[in-house]
């Protein structure tokens, strides 16, 4: 019952529990019989779509958790692989050979190199744009000085 109380408090929700024991004739009710009846009555007043919206049994809860964990694992594996290939790329730049790599490694390394090149090209383009703007601004100021129009 302590867990139901903690869940209710932590999640800010109304909750109730009825636990039957083979060793006791009377079920244990939390928070009390009236409180459980009140929460159940509120639940029954909700539209059916709302009632089932967030309802979950243990199996569906575990399936959802497993799916989420698998997605996190897949994401982390991809990040680790990218870091591994980035490290190999830098080792290759220092002269270490790539003979030990298999075809899958080489494909992944090629992808990492392509991603790095795209980022380099983006930065060159951004730098080039800012240089053109600065150059245009400088030429415009220079032209004003030559024509006697100095705006300060």
- CA atoms within 13 A of residue 126's CA, in its CB half-sphere: 6
Q: What is the pTM of this model?
A: 0.52
Q: Tokens 């075809």 sit at which residue?
A: 103
| pLDDT above 50 for 152 | no
Q: Residue 143 and residue 31: Cα distance in Å, rounded?
A: 83
pLDDT of residue 131: 81
| pLDDT above 80 for 102 | yes
Contact 15, 25 (CB under 8 A): no
Query: What mean pLDDT, rounded, does the chain reach?
Result: 87
């Amino acid at each position: 019952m302590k867990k139901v109380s903690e869940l209710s408090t932590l999640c800010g929700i109304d909750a109730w529990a009825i636990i039957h024991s083979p060793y006791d004739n009377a079920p244990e009710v939390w928070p009390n019989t009236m409180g459980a009846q009140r929460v159940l009555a509120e639940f029954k007043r909700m539209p059916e779509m709302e009632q089932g919206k967030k309802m979950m049994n243990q199996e569906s809860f575990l399936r959802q958790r497993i799916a989420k964990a698998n997605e996190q694992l897949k994401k982390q594996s991809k990040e680790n692989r990218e870091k591994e290939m980035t490290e190999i790329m830098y080792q290759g730049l220092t002269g270490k050979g790539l003979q030990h790599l298999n075809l899958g490694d080489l494909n992944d390394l090629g992808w990492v190199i392509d991603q790095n090149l795209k980022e380099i090209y983006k930065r060159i383009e951004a730098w080039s744009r800012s240089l053109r703007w600065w150059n245009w601004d400088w030429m415009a100021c220079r032209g004003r000085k030559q024509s006697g129009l100095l705006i300060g």
